Amino acid sequence: MSTSPPGRTERTGAPRPYLAFTDPAGQRRTVLARFGRASRRDPALPQRIRNGLLDDQGQQCVQVFLSAADAAHPAARALLDTEVGTALQLDRALEDTAYARLFPTVIGHELDTAEPFLLYAAPRGVPAGRTHVMSATDQRVFARDLTLALCLLEGQGLVPRGISPGTVLWDGASVQMWGLESIARAGRPRTPWGRPPYCSPEQHRGEGLVDARDAVWSAAQVLYQLVTGRPGPADRAPADLSQHRVLAGTLPGAFAPTAGGRPSPGELLELLAPEEARRLTLTVPADPTRPHREAFARALRAKRQAPVPEGHGGAGGADGPPPGEVLCPYCLENIRLDLDKLYVTDQQMQYRALDLSRISNPVRREDVMRGAVQQCTADPDFPEHHIPVPYLTHGRPLTVAMIGQSSTGKSHLLTQMIAEITDGGLEPHGVSWQSVNPEQHARFVRERVQPLRSGKVLDHTSGVGLDGFARFVESLLLTDAHGRVRPVAFFDLGGEDLVRTDGALRFLLGIDALVFVVDPALALPLPQLDEVRRRWGTEVDRDGDAAFGTVLDRLPRKGPYLETPAAMVLGKSDLLRFQPPVDRWLGEGPPAALGPDHFLEESGDVYALLRRHAGQAWLRPFDAFRRCTLHIASATGGQESQGRYPAGTGPRRVLEPLVSLLAMHGIIEAPEGAASFGVGREAQ
């Protein structure tokens, strides 16, 4: 439970229990709260439930929460996240309509804490499984309301994976559907869920894709038990449907063994209550994102129609160093392998010269060279710097720079991005990896990956050394589906790094790909971010990220657009995980196939969100680069509490920006080629 500094009662001096949470409008509330004894809502689920009273308004409530022990499990938190997200989505969609009564009323939630919780107003009615004999008229009203709730969920793309007599309440006049933790999005892969006979056979097995007609089976089972007093068969229609007038004409199809044979919720409502089906015409408000999506389509057309400068070189271009040479990412001079300038580090991390003449065994020689570095002397006036040998022996390297203010969480994002690569995240795209320098990689895992995954907040590490030029964070060797190996080096530069010295900017002239990371707390003046801004001591910046402008002003341009592939990432998206369209994309899994338009829809959603709430200044990178995709990602999956992430970190969609950039560079194959990836065809 999240608490503020306690007060004292006059009689006992005992602490007064304050409860802090976020309400559906995104505002923070702190109230006095008292709760009764907790119990399991369902023995098979981790959530606990208890009745309570909020003393600021004398409001009765129900708290659904996780104990600290249960909250340590990501799957348990995911269930509570699902319930909160569904409840808030329904609150937004049904606010000020007569249909809101069909679902629980949300009071607030607090999820980034050791014991996360959701607050509802007190339930209306008792579970259908505990109702007494119901008249035929009430049975028809019950069936109508239950099916109407399914129609409303279907309209939001949501499907209950299992409805039972215990999750449908009845107050003598109407239904209220609970159990929102069971909700899944239509079209997602089914996972095993629920208990027969209340979940459909295919849902219980976890086969195929979630379908709105899964819930029709569940509703039919609840209605059958309500009328007959007993559960139906788990895999077929009850044999005695024809003996019950309320069920005979409407439910036979609902018990089909597969979703394809069942009526949709709308078709079932037509059978049960045709007059209600005709009234179910919720006023659809004008889409507030439409003008921003139209602006996105215009921007894409302009990029496609603009001429590409001939022989554009520099970052991301076709030009490069002569054969056998690579571009030093530090001094930007061409360099080739020189066996007389190799060094290795000793136990004190000091460089000592490597004499290969003493190593005759070719296997050992190759292994030693893999951990060696070469001193670059291409520019005698440049500070001393060293390049890993594998970076020089596998063709032209690819350099990726993370750009943004230090508060954006770039270091966490880059750490999780590299961790997912080393976990095999690029293998579905035909790309494998190997460390460039095993010792450096082991240190990166030990000092960055392992602490972050265990829940530690990483310190910001400057991407610029004392000598004033940018340094690698990590580098990997990526092997594509054709066996071609390419070194990839990652830089992480904050705004303060970029303005500290002009030397830190020089490396941008040779960079091959850029990732611009947007901090939602700085960019989006949404009320649910006010508490975060207060806690961090920041404000909304209408002028955009200064680091973006510094980079864009430094990069050379030969035409209307910069030709370097780029990506923009709305980082820390867990701060907005219940805000459309962020809620949708954070739940999306990896793509089944990759094409040039794969990221078009997501890019349009992020563009519209930023343009609507943040303004065009935050979209300056998209406007500047010909090929630029936009993404939603969360490096941690939640917010820190007292210097740690309470349940560890759960990264979401951190690899998609890099997948896009690798496709634009041809390392990941796209069906229509790298040249078209990142622009897409005509936006709809």
Number of C-beta neighbours around residue 242 at 10 A: 11
pLDDT at 676 (0 to 100): 54
CB of 64 within 8 A of CB of 42?
no
Task: Report the mean per-residue pLDDT for the chain.
Answer: 86
Residues 663, 668, 672: CA angle, nearest 5 degrees? 65
pLDDT at 595 (0 to 100): 66
pLDDT at 21 (0 to 100): 94
Tokens 């892969």 locate to 189
How far is residue 184 from each of residues 189, 191, 198, 209, 529, measured CA to CA in Å? 9, 10, 16, 10, 26
Mean of pLDDT values over 234-240: 92
pLDDT at 346 (0 to 100): 79
Determine the residue type at 546: A
Which candidate, 513, 496, 511, 611, places its Cα nearest to that of 550?
Answer: 496
Burial class (CB in 10 A: 0-12, 13-18, 19+), 375: middle
- What percentage of the chain reaches a pLDDT higher than 90? 54
Residue 516, H or E segment: strand 513-518
Number of C-beta neighbours around residue 545 at 10 A: 25
pLDDT at 681 (0 to 100): 42
The domain defined by 397-664 carries CATH number 3.20.20.70: no
Residue 490 tokens, joined? 């990652």
Q: Give CATH 3.30.200 domain extents, the chain.
A: 18-121
pLDDT at 152 (0 to 100): 95
pLDDT exceeds 80 at position 463: no
| pLDDT tens-digit series, residues 536-577 | 899 999 999 988 988 898 888 888 999 999 999 999 999 999
pLDDT at 15 (0 to 100): 57
Dist. CA 628–CA 80, nearest whole Å: 35
CATH domain 127-279 topology: Transferase(Phosphotransferase); domain 1 (1.10.510)
Residue 613 tokens, joined? 């709430």
pLDDT exceeds 90 at position 394: no
At residue 250 the predicted structure's pLDDT band, cuts being 50, 70 and 90, is: confident
pLDDT exceeds 90 at position 421: yes
pLDDT at 615 (0 to 100): 95
At residue 500 the predicted structure's pLDDT band, cuts being 50, 70 and 90, is: low
pLDDT exceeds 90 at position 380: no
pLDDT at 6 (0 to 100): 35
- 358: CB partners within 8 A, 6+ apart: none
Query: Nearest 10 degrees: CA dihedral of 36, 31, 62, 204?
Result: -120
Q: Give CATH 3.40.50.300 domain extents, the chain.
A: 397-664
Determine the residue type at 290: R
| pLDDT tens-digit series, residues 119-163 | 999 999 999 878 767 888 999 999 999 999 999 999 999 999 989
| pLDDT tens-digit series, residues 260-285 | 999 999 999 998 888 888 888 655 56
pLDDT at 599 (0 to 100): 87
Which candidate, 148, 152, 181, places its Cα nearest to that of 164?
Answer: 181
User: Who has greater pLDDT, 3 or 204?
Assistant: 204
CATH domain 18-121 topology: Phosphorylase Kinase; domain 1 (3.30.200)
At residue 2 the predicted structure's pLDDT band, cuts being 50, 70 and 90, is: very low
Dist. CA 361–CA 338, nearest whole Å: 19
Residue 142, H or E segment: helix 136-155
User: Who has greater pLDDT, 364 or 494?
Assistant: 364
pLDDT exceeds 70 at position 466: no
Mean of pLDDT values over 664-682: 66
pTM: 0.85
pLDDT exceeds 60 at position 13: no
pLDDT exceeds 70 at position 11: no
How far is residue 293 from each of residues 58, 300, 377, 415, 608, measured CA to CA in Å? 45, 11, 50, 32, 6
pLDDT at 315 (0 to 100): 40
CB of 243 within 8 A of CB of 250?
no
| pLDDT tens-digit series, residues 151-210 | 999 999 999 998 999 999 999 999 999 999 999 999 999 999 989 999 999 999 999 999
At residue 7 the predicted structure's pLDDT band, cuts being 50, 70 and 90, is: very low
pLDDT at 592 (0 to 100): 62
Mean of pLDDT values over 284-301: 88
Mean of pLDDT values over 315-344: 76
pLDDT at 471 (0 to 100): 67
3-state secondary structure of 501: coil
